[in-house]
RNA sequence: GUUCUUGUAGCUCAGUUGGAUAGAGCGUACGCCUCCGACGCGUAAGGCCGAGGGUUCGAUUCCCUCCAAGAACACCA
C-alpha cells in the first residue's frame, strides 16, 4: 500500500524516501491513514488539501482501494477492497530477502563461578529476540554472551580454593605432570565467590593474596591456569543449562579472557595513535567533546598501579571483534545504567579508529526488572535472587493453574508455559522501561500475558487439527464474511510494519502487543463464527484458510521471541 | 551538587517524522455457553497526557521554567 502511494507521489513529482501508512485512528473514515500530505505541504509550500486531493484522484482509480477520501487539513483516508484483501491472503509472503550486513550482538553477560541472577534475564530475552528478529529480516548475525571470566573475581575464587585445598597439585609451582581430577561442583563455586568477596573487603591481607593470585592467572602460571580452565568448564556447562531453558543460544561463548589476549596489541596500536594521555598517574583517553553538557570523564585505560580495567577489556573486545568478524554494527544489550561507560568506550573506539565511522556501535540499554514493591529484586534475606529460583517459582505457579484434565507431560507443559510467561512479561514493556515482577499478574490467563497468547495459539492449532480429522480442506480464501473476519485480515497486513518498527526501536514491545491483538481478534472471530459447523463449504474453507494464516504468523512471531508452544495446556 | 531519564485512567503500561474524537491490559459494573477448548467473548463507566509559559493553522510529542521520582558521575565489574 505504501508503494502505491509512493508511486502516486512520484507521478506528482514529490520525492519521499520513507513513507508511513498507519492504521486509522478514525475508523469511521477509513481503515488506514496517510498524513504525509501535510508534511509535504510544508517542505514544498503547497496547500496540503490540494496534495491530498491529487493523491486521491490517482489512488481512487486503483481497484485495490475500496474508498479513498480526504478530510480535515489533509488527512488521506484509505480503505482496501475485498478483492485486494483476498488476493493479499492468497499470496502470503512473510519472508525477507537476505541482506548483506553483519550485526554482532552482545547480550547475556553471565559471570563465571557466579550463578545467573534475575539481572541477567532481560539481557538474554531481549538479546535473543533481537537476534532472531535480525535473522528473520535477513541480516546475518553473530551472538556472543561475553562472559565475565577474568580478573579479580576469579582470583578470589582461586585463592579460596587454595585455602581450602592447599594440597592440590594445581598449586604446586614446579609440578610438571598431568593434573588429576578434583571435586569442584557449581554449587561449591556459587558458595565460594560471595564468601571470598566479603572476606576480601574485611581482610586486607586476604585481598593482597587475591591480587597476587589474579596476577598469577593473568601471567598464565601453569597450574593456576589449568585450574581456571577446569572452573570455566564446570561453570559454562551450568550457564548453558539455564540459557537453554530460556531458548537462548550463542554462536560464541567468549569472554573477557579472550579480549585480554588482544590488550598488548591494542595498547601498541593506541600508542601509535597518539591519543593516550597521563592523568594522576593513570593512562587515559580523553573523550569529552565541546558540545557535551555533562563533561564525559576520560576513559581509563591503565590504572596508576599498571593494571587494566573494565573499560580496557571492553575496548579490546571491540578491537578483537572488528579484527576477527568486522561487523557493520555491534549491538550491546546491557543494563541502561551502563550507558556512560559505553559512551566512553565507544568514543575511544572511534577516536582511536579501532572502529571506522561507518561501523555502528549501538548501546541498546534496558530497564531493570524490580520486585513487586518497585525496588530492586531481592530474596527474603536480602540477597540477589537466582534466575533458576525465579523460573522455578513461575513454573510452580503455572503448574498450579494447569488444566486438571491434562495428565501427560504436565512438567514439560508447565515449563513451556513458565518460560512464555516470563518472556512475554519481560518483552511487553518498552526496552528502556523499568518494570515490576508480579507473579500473579504474569501467570494470569487474562490480559496481556504469555499464557493467554499460548492458549489462543493452541486454540487455532486444535481447530485446524479437528478440521483435518473431518477431512476439511483449506486451499484459499474465497470470500470475506463477518466484521471480525475483515478486522482479522486487516490486522495481518500490519505484519511488516510491526517487524520493522520493532527492529528500528530495538524493542520487542511492538511484537508482544501485536501478538495480543492477533489473539483477541482471532478469539472474537472464533466466537462470532462456528467454523466447523458451517455448511457453506466455500465459506468454511475461507475461514479455515484464514485461521491457518493467523496461526502461521503467530508461530513466526513466537519463534522470534523464542517462545515454545506446547501441544496442549 | 552536575547531568540524564521518567511523570498519560484507581493500578500497570503503549503512544518516533508535531495531526482528526489520547489507546491497551488489570480492576469495577452489566450481559453471553443445547454448537469447534467459557482458560473464551461483548457492552459501559473511568483522563486539565505532573504544573506553568512559549513556538504554529495544530503540542502528550519540540523549546524554557518549576515540582516530584529514579539513575549515572575515573583507578570496582
Which of helix, strand or coil describes residue A335?
strand
Q: Which domains does chain A have, with CATH numbers?
A: 2-80 (3.30.1360.70), 102-147+262-363 (3.40.50.620), 152-245 (no CATH), 387-560 (1.10.730.10)
Q: Give Cβ neighbours of residue A34 (< 8 Å, ≥ 6 apart).
A: A5, A19, A20, A21, A22, A55, A75, A76, A78
A308: which nucleotide lies closest, measuring CA to C1'? B75
Buried b (16+ CB within 10 A) or exposed e, A451-467: bbbbbbbbbbbebbeeb
Model ipTM value = 0.95
Q: What is the mean pLDDT of residues A415-436?
A: 96
Q: Which residue has the higher pLDDT, A23 or A327?
A: A327
Query: Which residue gives the smallest C-alpha to C1' distance to B22?
Result: A25
Other Cβ atoms less than 10 A from the Cβ of A52: the count is: 27
Q: Which residue has the higher pLDDT, A121 or A295?
A: A121
Q: How far is the CA of A420 from the C1' of B11 (A)?
A: 24
Looking at residue A406, what is its pLDDT?
A: 86
Confidence of residue A132 (pLDDT cuts 50, 70, 90): very high
Query: Which residue gives the smallest C-alpha to C1' distance to B57?
Result: A73
Alpha-carbon span A11 to A490, nearest angstrom: 27
Looking at residue A70, what is its pLDDT?
A: 93
Q: Give Cβ neighbours of residue A179 (< 8 Å, ≥ 6 apart).
A: A169, A170, A223, A226, A227, A230
- What percentage of chain A exceeds 90 in pLDDT? 76
Q: How far is the CA of A358 from the C1' of B76 (A)?
A: 33
Confidence of residue A307 (pLDDT cuts 50, 70, 90): confident
Q: How far is the CA of A53 from the C1' of B56 (A)?
A: 24
Query: Which residue gives the smallest C-alpha to C1' distance to B2?
Result: A294
User: Sign of torsion, CA A105 A109 A113 A117?
Assistant: negative
Q: How far is the CA of A501 from the C1' of B52 (A)?
A: 35
Measure the CA dihedral A37/A41/A46/A48, to 10°: 40
Dump pLDDT digits (tens) for A189-208.
988 988 898 888 888 899 88
Confidence of residue A17 (pLDDT cuts 50, 70, 90): confident
Alpha-carbon span A75 to A81, nearest angstrom: 19
Nearest to A410 by CA among A567, A223, A217, A185: A567
Could you give the residue ranges of the DSSP H alpha helices within A246-301? 256-260, 263-273
Q: Give Cβ neighbours of residue A528 (< 8 Å, ≥ 6 apart).
A: A482, A483, A484, A485
A459: which nucleotide lies closest, measuring CA to C1'? B37
On strand B, nucleotides with any atom < 7 Å from a protein CB are 2-5, 12-27, 35-37, 39-42, 57-58, 70-77
Query: Which residue gives the smallest C-alpha to C1' distance to B26?
Result: A447
Mean pLDDT of chain A: 93
Q: What is the mean pLDDT of residues A539-566?
A: 97
A300: which nucleotide lies closest, measuring CA to C1'? B74
Looking at residue A202, what is its pLDDT?
A: 86
Dump pLDDT digits (tens) for A140-183.
999 999 999 988 889 999 999 999 999 999 999 889 899 988 88
Q: How far is the CA of A486 from the C1' of B45 (A)?
A: 29
Quick check: A374 pLDDT over 80? no
* Max Cα distance, chain A (Å): 89
Alpha-carbon span A536 to A461, nearest angstrom: 22
CB A228 within 8 A of CB A154: yes
A39: which nucleotide lies closest, measuring CA to C1'? B17
Q: Give the E-state strand segments of A120-236 in sequence order.
A: 140-144
The pTM (predicted TM-score) of the whole model is 0.95
Dump pLDDT digits (tens) for A312-322.
999 999 999 99
Dump pLDDT digits (tens) for A242-290.
999 999 999 999 999 999 999 999 999 999 999 999 999 999 999 998 8
Quick check: A510 pLDDT over 90? yes
Q: How far is the CA of A470 from the C1' of B53 (A)?
A: 69
pLDDT-wise least confident of A39-53, A313-327, A404-418, A528-542: A39-53
pLDDT-wise least confident of A82-96, A290-304, A420-434, A523-537: A290-304
Dump pLDDT digits (tens) for A41-88.
887 888 889 999 999 999 999 999 999 999 988 999 999 999 999 999
Q: How far is the CA of A335 from the C1' of B55 (A)?
A: 36
Query: Which residue gives the smallest C-alpha to C1' distance to B6?
Result: A433
Confidence of residue A445 (pLDDT cuts 50, 70, 90): very high
Query: Which DSSP string do the residues of A178-209 spell out, in sequence order?
Result: PPPP----HHHHHHHHHHHHHHHHH-HHHHHH
Confidence of residue A1 (pLDDT cuts 50, 70, 90): confident
Looking at residue A179, what is its pLDDT?
A: 92
Q: Give Cβ neighbours of residue A333 (< 8 Å, ≥ 6 apart).
A: A105, A106, A107, A123, A126, A127, A130, A364, A366
Amino acid at each position: 500500500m505504501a508503494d502505491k502511494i509512493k508511486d502516486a507521489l512520484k507521478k506528482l513529482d514529490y520525492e519521499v524516501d520513507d513513507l508511513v501508512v498507519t492504521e486509522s485512528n478514525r475508523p469511521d473514515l477509513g481503515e488506514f491513514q496517510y498524513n504525509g500530505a501535510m508534511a509535504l505541504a510544508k517542505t514544498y509550500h503547497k496547500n496540503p488539501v490540494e496534495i491530498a486531493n491529487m493523491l486521491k484522484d490517482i489512488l481512487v482509480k486503483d481497484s485495490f482501494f475500496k474508498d479513498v477520501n480526504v478530510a480535515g487539513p489533509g488527512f488521506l483516508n484509505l480503505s482496501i477492497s475485498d478483492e485486494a484483501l483476498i488476493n493479499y491472503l492468497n499470496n502470503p509472503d512473510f519472508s525477507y530477502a537476505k541482506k548483506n550486513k553483519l550485526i554482532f550482538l552482545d547480550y547475556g553477560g553471565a559471570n563465571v563461578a557466579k550463578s545467573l541472577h534475575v539481572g541477567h534475564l532481560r539481557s538474554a530475552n531481549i538479546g535473543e529476540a533481537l537476534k532472531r528478529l535480525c535473522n528473520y529480516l535477513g541480516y546475518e548475525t553473530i551472538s556472543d554472551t561475553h562472559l565475565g571470566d577474568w580478573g579479580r573475581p576469579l582470583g578470589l575464587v582461586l585463592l579460596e580454593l587454595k585455602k581450602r585445598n592447599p594440597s592440590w597439585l594445581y598449586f604446586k609451582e614446579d609440578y610438571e605432570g598431568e593434573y588429576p581430577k578434583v571435586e569442584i561442583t557449581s554449587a561449591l563455586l556459587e558458595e565460594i565467590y560471595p564468601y571470598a568477596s566479603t572476606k576480601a573487603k574485611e581482610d586486607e591481607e586476604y585481598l593482597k593474596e587475591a591480587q597476587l593470585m589474579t596476577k598469577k592467572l593473568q601471567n598464565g602460571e601453569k597450574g593456576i591456569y589449568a585450574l581456571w580452565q577446569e572452573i570455566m568448564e564446570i561453570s559454562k556447562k551450568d550457564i548453558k543449562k539455564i540459557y537453554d531453558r530460556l531458548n537462548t543460544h550463542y554462536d560464541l561463548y567468549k569472554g573477557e579472557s579472550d579480549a585480554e589476549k588482544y590488550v598488548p596489541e591494542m595498547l601498541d596500536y593506541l600508542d601509535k595513535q597518539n591519543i593516550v594521555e597521563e592523568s594522576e598517574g593513570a593512562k587515559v583517553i580523553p573523550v569529552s567533546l565541546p558540545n557535551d553538557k555533562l563533561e564525559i570523564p576520560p576513559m581509563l585505560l591503565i590504572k596508576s598501579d599498571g593494571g587494566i580495567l573494565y573499560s580496557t577489556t571492553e575496548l579490546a573486545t571491540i578491537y578483537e571483534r572488528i579484527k576477527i568478524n568486522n561487523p557493520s554494527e555491534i549491538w550491546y544489550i546491557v543494563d541502561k545504567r551502563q550507558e556512560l561507560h559505553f559512551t566512553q568506550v565507544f568514543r575511544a573506539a572511534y577516536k582511536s579508529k579501532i572502529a571506522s565511522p561507518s561501523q555502528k556501535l549501538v548501546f541498546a540499554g534496558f530497564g531493570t526488572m524490580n520486585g513487586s514493591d518497585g525496588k530492586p529484586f531481592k530474596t527474603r534475606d536480602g540477597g540477589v535472587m537466582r534466575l533458576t529460583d525465579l523460573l522455578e517459582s513461575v513454573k510452580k505457579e503455572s503448574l498450579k493453574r494447569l488444566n486438571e484434565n491434562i495428565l501427560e507431560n504436565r512438567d514439560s507443559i508447565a515449563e513451556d508455559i513458565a518460560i512464555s510467561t516470563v518472556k512475554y512479561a519481560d518483552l511487553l514493556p518498552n526496552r528502556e522501561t523499568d518494570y515490576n515482577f508480579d507473579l500473579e499478574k504474569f501467570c494470569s490467563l487474562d490480559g496481556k500475558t504469555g499464557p493467554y497468547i499460548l492458549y489462543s495459539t493452541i486454540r487455532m492449532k486444535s481447530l485446524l487439527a479437528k478440521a483435518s480429522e473431518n477431512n476439511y480442506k483449506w486451499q484459499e480464501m474465497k470470500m470475506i464474511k463477518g466484521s471480525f473476519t475483515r478486522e482479522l485480515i486487516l490486522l495481518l497486513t500490519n505484519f511488516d510494519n510491526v517487524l520493522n518498527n520493532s527492529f528500528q526501536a530495538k524493542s520487542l514491545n511492538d511484537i508482544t502487543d501485536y501478538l495480543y491483538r492477533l489473539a483477541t481478534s482471532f478469539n472474537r472471530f472464533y466466537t462470532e463464527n462456528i467454523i466447523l459447523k458451517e455448511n457453506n463449504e466455500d465459506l468454511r474453507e475461507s475461514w479455515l484458510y484464514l485461521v491457518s494464516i493467523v496461526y502461521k504468523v503467530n508461530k513466526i512471531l513466537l519463534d522470534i521471541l523464542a517462545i515454545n508452544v506446547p501441544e496442549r495446556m
